[in-house]
Structure 1
Amino acid sequence: MSQGNTDSLSGKIVTLLGGTGFLGRHVVQELFERGARVRVASRNPDKAWSIKPLSNLGQIQFARVDVSKLDSLARVLEGSDAVVNLVGAFEGNLDAVQGSGAGRIAAAAKAAGAQALVHVSAIGADAGSDVAYARTKAEGERAVLAEFPTATIVRPAIMFGPDDNFVMMFGDLIARAPLLPVFAPEAKLQPVFVDDVAAAIATALGAPEVHGGKTFELAGPEIYTMLALNKRIMAAQGRQRALVPFSDAVGGLIAALPGTPISTDQFKLLKAGNLASGAFPGLAEIGVTPRPLELFLDRWMTQFRNHGRFGAKAANA
């Protein structure tokens, strides 16, 4: 649900690069509510076709793009009033995707005449990090601002939503497994509602004269440790499970092995935590009131209870 100006984007063409993922789907819906015309550009735009019924006639367009090629970018960005760069990855050539590649996207957006650009980075972006993901996220921010100084940088924390791969993933694991290992159990997280991030992005697009050139850390109002979060999800399901906290030494050893559910880099990022630093403005400063996970969790976990949505009582198994 939009929390910002509903008129400033009305009728404007907004191109979402990498718009077929989790955040992209929610940004598209936010932009629909604000009356924007949305171009979803991706290597595989067919992944976003499920969004089409949510739009009005002529409000959405799908386009195929290779962000590593300037001619492909130029074609898909032509006529854009505003651009959102959602392109990112955890593996592969991260510099080409979210490091220098982000600068290439910003340059193409500028050349296309876009008046606003929002670049989606991440909390924990750090040019000095030995983790390629965090390092290239920071390098990408710098590259974007060098090419498009009035771009807005947003750094979301880990995002949650009813279709996420975070809270809902843990919910599914807890429902299925009687015993669950917990990596980095004391790591602190400040998860943010995906629709609040989408609202912040749309607000920044609609008012580049206010928010351009700024960096925002988008985090939720609650802080959990990894262990506490798993316990809270378990309670919302009404289940009793054996949670096995791994020490950092054990977790790091497991992450270093091939074929494990977490890589060494992912473990390092998790262990470092995912909190707003306080050095940048947040959701409140962009006009969005952050909503807590507690507002949704019990309802979302209903599907994982023993008796599902029809159970009058929570199960204890």
Structure 2
Amino acid sequence: MASQAPAQQLVTVFGGSGFVGRHVVRALVKRGYRVRVAVRRPDLANFLQPLGTVGQIHAVQANLRYPASVAAAVKGTDAVVNLVGIMQEQGRQSFPAVQANGARAVAQACAAAGIARVVQVSALGASAESASAYARSKAEGEAAMFASVPGAVVLRPSVMFGPEDTFFNRFASLARMLPVVPLVGDGVTKFQPAFVGDVAEIVARAVDGTVQGGRVYELGGPEVQSLREIVEEVCKVTGRKRLLAPLPFPLARIMGSVLQVADTLTLGLIPDELVMTRDQVTLLASDNVVSAEAKAEGRDFAGLGLAPTSSEAVITSYLWRFRKTGQFDALQAR
């Protein structure tokens, strides 16, 4: 645990303007930390300013593909958090470049600067043996982090939910757009959705120094749900009665390849909700839940002393906008 008070410490957060980042920044500034938000476009991170007091949050330019910018971003800081990740490759933003080499650049910059408190947010399912390029790059990023900063804290959350998520919101949007919602693999894949606010709290505790370093923590919510159960819950909350149609994995892989090419050729004009890549289909072939080993060793929410929030308690607060008459449709959606 650091000897200085939070107000005397500076924390650099890579990817601080993203979905997870804004919650991590909020958790840190509530503790009193000064936060340096390292992003590719600092001008798009100004919305974070109201989360703290005057001068408490400062955005700087950094790109994980350029080690010099990473080194400049960690200079003079007491702790570093790396949240940068992508779900789909686009141009130079490839999985190896961002999630493997990017994490390596952060780790090496921290090691050179003598920064020991480092938090790497990875993903549940990360594995060097995975058939998914996304999962393999996440595992490579973890290994690179430990190679340079052995005492780093690595967090592997399951799919996360919150107002700006791209999971529950995506299915709610699909249910609004389509009369039939396809379920890859008949929706049998298991998930353990984690509230982004809970993950941010663990990140902040790791920055505090109260989370043991040199370990990988798996963070999943209180419920294990199949993809079908999740979509059914979304439809119930949004008041949409939709047919859920099974989409076999072989056909889903073909569709993923076609949609990925089409999205590239149209320069991203296809709505995000309809874009699915072959690698994402590959990810859906494996369950995304906390392992028995992590539970037994206390490397989960329970072991960290936090009771995770259920999706049922949160998603209604932001999925109401997908109802036919918005928040005024509350009674009908029950």
TM-score by length of 1: 0.91
Q: Is the 8 A contact 2:252 2:281 kept in 1?
A: yes
Q: What is the identity, as a one-letter code, of the residue corresponding to 2:220?
A: A
Matches within 5 A, 1:24-39: 24-39=21-36
| Aligned: 1:263 with 2:272 | no
**Structure 1 residue 272 displacement after superposition:** 1.1
**Structure 1 residue 315 displacement after superposition:** 6.0
Moved more, 155-164 or 179-188: 179-188
| Aligned: 1:218 with 2:226 | no
Secondary structure at the aligned position of 1:117 is classed as: strand
Task: Measure, in 2, the Cα distance between the counterparts of 1:315 and 1:115.
Answer: 49
Matches within 5 A, 1:93-172: 93-172=94-173
CA-to-aligned-CA distance 1:2-31 (integer Å, 9 cap, x gap):
xxx9x9634310000122210011100111
- Partner residue of 1:86 out of 61, 70, 83: 83
Question: Counterpart of 2:198?
Answer: 196
Q: Is the 8 A contact 2:81 2:119 kept in 1?
A: yes
Q: Is the 8 A contact 1:8 1:207 kept in 2?
A: no
Moved more, 94-103 or 215-224: 94-103
Task: Measure, in 1, the Cα distance between the counterparts of 2:114 and 2:231.
Answer: 46
Q: Is the 8 A contact 1:306 1:315 kept in 2?
A: no
More helix, by proportion: 2
CA-to-aligned-CA distance 1:217-275 (integer Å, 9 cap, x gap):
11111111111111111111222112212122322232232437211111010121211
Q: Is the 8 A contact 2:190 2:287 kept in 1?
A: yes
**Structure 1 residue 312 displacement after superposition:** 5.7
| Aligned: 1:301 with 2:311 | no
Question: Counterpart of 1:47?
Answer: 44
**Structure 1 residue 163 displacement after superposition:** 1.5
Aligned residues: 310
Output the aligned Cα RMSD: 2.0
TM-aligned CA distance change 1:42 to 1:301, over 3 Å = closer
Q: What is the identity, as a one-letter code, of the residue corresponding to 2:312?
A: E
**Structure 1 residue 200 displacement after superposition:** 0.5
CA-to-aligned-CA distance 1:97-133 (integer Å, 9 cap, x gap):
2213312211211222323000111111111123221
Secondary structure at the aligned position of 1:123 is classed as: coil
Q: What is the identity, as a one-letter code, of the residue corresponding to 1:83?
A: V
Q: Is the 8 A contact 2:182 2:244 kept in 1?
A: yes
Q: Is the 8 A contact 1:8 1:206 kept in 2?
A: no
Task: Measure, in 1, the Cα distance between the counterparts of 2:149 and 2:183.
Answer: 41
Q: Which runs of 5+ in 1 are unaligned?
A: none
TM-aligned CA distance change 1:96 to 1:252, over 3 Å = closer
Task: Measure, in 2, the Cα distance between the counterparts of 1:66 and 1:299.
Answer: 34
Question: Counterpart of 2:184?
Answer: 183
Give 4+ residue runs of structure 1 displaced > 4 Å after superposition.
none
Secondary structure at the aligned position of 2:293 is classed as: coil
Secondary structure at the aligned position of 2:124 is classed as: coil
Moved more, 74-83 or 235-244: 235-244
Moved more, 273-282 or 51-60: 273-282
Task: Measure, in 1, the Cα distance between the counterparts of 2:235 and 2:30.
Answer: 35
Task: Measure, in 2, the Cα distance between the counterparts of 1:85 and 1:170.
Answer: 28
TM-score by length of 2: 0.87
TM-aligned CA distance change 1:211 to 1:308, over 3 Å = same
**Structure 1 residue 287 displacement after superposition:** 2.6
**Structure 1 residue 77 displacement after superposition:** 0.9
CA-to-aligned-CA distance 1:9-64 (integer Å, 9 cap, x gap):
34310000122210011100111111110000011122221111121012011100
Task: Measure, in 2, the Cα distance between the counterparts of 1:215 and 1:241.
Answer: 39
| Aligned: 1:290 with 2:308 | yes
Moved more, 92-101 or 188-197: 92-101
TM-aligned CA distance change 1:79 to 1:228, over 3 Å = same
Moved more, 76-85 or 253-262: 253-262
Q: What is the identity, as a one-letter code, of the residue corresponding to 1:191?
A: P
Q: Is the 8 A contact 2:34 2:57 kept in 1?
A: yes
